[in-house]
Structure 1
């Protein structure tokens, strides 16, 4: 999801947090080819995965299935899940009836055996959660020793830039408003500082091998000249990407 919102609402409680079922179609349409998702978040994760031919991969929080599709096209054997039934429905429409998809919550025990996967993708998922302990432990459980967790979250510096009076070093809840292809939505996140992320990875049995702040995919500058006009390199602050090794 985007890290740049229409308006920043600060810490807030909403009736149903992150109810993707209510705006799934709009989100899927809006993010298919936009800068933040289509030309940044998704290609960065796929690039970090590298050669995935024959690898068994889990797309945790698969949404409407674009990363699943990209990995499958590169020869991976992919399983995907999402907490939103509507997102899984859209993914099935995109990927075909035979795609291995299910509705599941990353915050609950997953229906997979120990060491079932070579890699797990968790793109723009964990920043919705206050406590990463159980989700990271579960993702570590379903990975083979030496397997990789490839993930992205909101860049912690973006929160501090948007909320200059906030405590960067605290774990802070905040909600932002968006419009996805005409559908209004409120997304609620948990900011945490970088050291809290890496500490959580280590406690769950991961070794951090890559921390990445990549530029957008080729062609982005031509398609989004106004958005990237101030960046000589083409890079910008939005998400932070990790590759973690299960030890």
Structure 2
């Protein structure tokens, strides 16, 4: 079953604990974009097994998170203990938080699973205080075109890919949309886009993953995996 994280939660969490694209790319970039979070209230929307929450808490933030996978939340509770408020909730449904409850919201690698961004972005804006920030990470839109050269880059398109996480097979299904559609969705939801980033991997990645860099990448400009946004609630 596609996107059934309950079926491969442990394998996914184990694979990504030290992976190039997560531990040495997505998570460090999110933390860099958030900057100093000491004393801030931060929500992780689609928190998975909780690695971002753990990092944010270690930096002094007051954290909360939700995910649609009960199995992933179990892993997050094991990691974080009982003091972090974790809830089972769907990104596309009303979020279980009051208006203006958070200074920052992280939505890392979750929006690209959804065809319609209207409801989740409305909820994202609602739970942020005025002047709050969101850090959103999605598949870089060029990836779909590279994988499918014949495809229409500008069309909203559903596509799937197969993965092996710690030896376990999984299928993930995404919705591709062009960059212009992403930015229009953000501004329509009441955000001002302050940053669009295509960061390099974290220091040490090239040494830790010599095969990936040697065989697949030829420098920073070749490493296009995710696209990072910082959105200001206006």
TM-score (normalised: structure 1)? 0.92
- Residue in structure 2 matching 1:171, options 156, 161, 171: 156
- 2:29 maps to 44
- Structure 1 stretches of 5 or more lacking a match? 1-15
- 1:194 maps to 179
Q: CA separation in 1, counterparts of 2:153 and 2:219?
A: 27
- The number of residue pairs the alignment matches comes to 232
Check whether the contact 2:2–2:170 (CA below 8 A) recurs between aligned residues. no
2:228 matches 1:231: no
Structure 1 residue 234 displacement after superposition: 7.4
- SS at structure 2 position matched to 1:79: strand
Structure 1 residue 151 displacement after superposition: 1.0
| 1:13-68, Cα deviation, whole Å (9 max, x unpaired) | xxx43110000000000000010111001111111110000000000000000000
Q: CA separation in 2, counterparts of 1:233 and 1:105?
A: 35
Structure in which a larger fraction of residues adopt helix = 2
Check whether the contact 1:52–1:71 (CA below 8 A) recurs between aligned residues. yes
2:224 matches 1:240: no
Q: CA separation in 2, counterparts of 1:178 and 1:206?
A: 34
- Structure-to-structure mapping, 1:1-247, within 5 angstroms: 16-229=1-214, 230-233=217-220, 236-247=223-234
TM-score (normalised: structure 2)? 0.97
Structure 1 residue 166 displacement after superposition: 0.4
Structure 1 residue 233 displacement after superposition: 3.5
Structure 1 residue 176 displacement after superposition: 0.6
What's the C-alpha RMSD, in Å, of the aligned pairs? Answer: 1.0
Structure 1 residue 235 displacement after superposition: 5.8
Q: CA separation in 1, counterparts of 2:8 and 2:221?
A: 30
Q: CA separation in 1, counterparts of 2:87 and 2:99?
A: 18
Q: CA separation in 1, counterparts of 2:136 and 2:123?
A: 14
Check whether the contact 1:122–1:151 (CA below 8 A) recurs between aligned residues. yes
Which one has more relative contact order, counting CA pairs under 8 Å at least 6 apart?
Answer: 1
- SS at structure 2 position matched to 1:122: strand
Check whether the contact 2:113–2:174 (CA below 8 A) recurs between aligned residues. yes
Q: CA separation in 2, counterparts of 1:235 and 1:55?
A: 35
Check whether the contact 1:58–1:119 (CA below 8 A) recurs between aligned residues. yes
- SS at structure 1 position matched to 2:131: strand
Structure 1 residue 102 displacement after superposition: 0.9
Structure 1 residue 232 displacement after superposition: 3.1
Q: CA separation in 1, counterparts of 2:91 and 2:220?
A: 35
